[in-house]
Amino acid sequence: MDLRRLRYLVTVADEGHITRAAERLGIQQPPLTRQIRALEDELGVVLFQRLPRGMRATEAGRVVVEEARRILERADRLPDTAARAARGEQGRLAIGYTSSGAFQPFVAQQIRAFRTASPGVQLALAEDGTPELVAALEEERLDAAFVRSGGAHGAGLRVEPLLEEPMVAALPTGHRLAAAGGVALAELADQTFVFYRRPTGPGLHDAIVAACLRAGFSPMVGQEAPRMSSTLGLVAAGLGVSIVPASMQRMNVEGVVFTPFKGDPGLAAPLLLVTRRRDRSPIVEAFRAQAKAAATD
């Protein structure tokens, strides 16, 4: 469909007269008449009723004219739309995060800040385990992901540390160590642990085991959960204790008491941003820059 013909159509409809429309368009009347007739032939309908002193759109013509206006308006906006997309102000951004990342305020702050700064960008959010998020990035179903484990991700992925937060002990309500105002990691040596499965979060899993070994014991694992958030339900049921990022306290799980560690057990939960190295999307770059700048504030 020739946009020029659509402009001719709208102008004739607005003027209601072929001669005045030709003058407004700066062309001769005969070529304009031929273009209108060619459009009628292309669409297979009569667009105008010829009157002694002008032209009037038929019912089909009125419908086509209104649609033509919408098409022309979108066409007129196309350069601005392209420029906004090139600046990362318009398009789509798919962001993933782990279950523990969902409770880290930084993640929600960055999503909210980007939505405010770039209202023309459609955001799609997904929560999943680290392996699933990494696979989604590699398959280009996600553009960026907040994870807890750097791991051995593919060479095509960029892993950037944003921040670290302390970890705390999650104990069942009424546990003998819950009211101590703090617990030494070594005091958990005789406890049964509830862990999240290592494939889900190998980085934190291995860091906790290493810290326990430094404290002089190997943790006795009684239960494993598919997600970090799921471990708290098992703790509330009295099946063991766990160690989670401090931000998980925001879950306010009934039956669980969160207790800080005494001293420095060498436990910290990182928050990492993962993106594709080859992705040069201005939207992704804008989100990366925002998150990295916020992390250094």
Is 286 found in the same domain as 172? Answer: yes
The number of domains in the chain is 2
Is 267 found in the same domain as 203? Answer: yes
Work out whether the CA dihedral 94, 95, 98, 104 comes out positive or negative.
negative
Is 34 found in the same domain as 9? Answer: yes
Q: Count Cβ neighbours within 10 Å for each residue of 113-132 and write b for 16 or more, e otherwise.
A: ebeeebeebeeeeeebbbbb
For residues 27-35, average pLDDT: 93
- Among 34, 56, 86, the domain boundary falls at 86
Is 113 found in the same domain as 75? Answer: no
Is 148 found in the same domain as 37? Answer: no
Longest dimension (CA), the chain: 102
Is 54 found in the same domain as 135? Answer: no
Model confidence at 1: pLDDT above 80: no
What is the end-to-end Cα distance of the chain in Å, rounded? 53
- Among 25, 58, 86, the domain boundary falls at 86
Is 268 found in the same domain as 215? Answer: yes
Is 40 found in the same domain as 181? Answer: no
Model confidence at 269: pLDDT above 60: yes
- Residue-range definition of the domain harbouring residue 289: 87-297
* Segment 94-133, tens digit of pLDDT: 999 988 888 899 999 999 999 999 998 999 999 988 888 9
* pLDDT bracket for residue 80 (50, 70, 90): confident
Is 257 found in the same domain as 163? Answer: yes
146 bridge partner residues = 97, 273
Is 286 found in the same domain as 180? Answer: yes
* Segment 181-225, tens digit of pLDDT: 799 999 999 999 998 877 766 778 888 999 999 999 999 999 888
Q: What is the CATH number of the domain that holds 283?
A: 3.40.190.290
CA pair distance 106, 86, nearest whole angstrom = 27
Q: What is the CATH number of the domain that holds 53?
A: 1.10.10.10
The pLDDT, as a whole number, for residue 214 is 94
CA pair distance 245, 145, nearest whole angstrom = 18
Lowest mean pLDDT of 168-172, 179-183, 200-204, 260-264, name the range: 200-204
pTM (predicted TM-score): 0.69
Instruction: State the average pLDDT for the chain.
Output: 89
Q: Show the 3-state SS of the chain.
A: CCHHHHHHHHHHHHHCCHHHHHHHHCCCHHHHHHHHHHHHHHHCCCCEEEECCEEEECHHHHHHHHHHHHHHHHHHHHHHHHHHHHCCCEEEEEEEECCCHHHCHHHHHHHHHHHHHCCEEEEEEEECCHHHHHHHHHCCCCCEEEECCCCCCCCCEEEEEEEEEEEEEEEECCCCCCCCCCECHHHHCCCEEEEECCCCCHHHHHHHHHHHHHCCCCCEEEEEECCHHHHHHHHHCCCCEEEEEHHHHHHCCCCEEEECECCCCCCEEEEEEEEECCCCCHHHHHHHHHHHHHHHC
Model confidence at 77: pLDDT above 90: no
- Among 51, 86, 121, the domain boundary falls at 86
Residue type, 158: R
For residues 254-267, average pLDDT: 91
For residues 15-35, average pLDDT: 92
Instruction: Tally Cβ neighbours within 10 Å of residue 150.
Output: 15
Instruction: Note the Cα 276 to chain centre separation in Å.
Output: 14
Is 285 found in the same domain as 215? Answer: yes
Is 173 found in the same domain as 103? Answer: yes
Which of residues 135 and 180 earns the better pLDDT score? 135
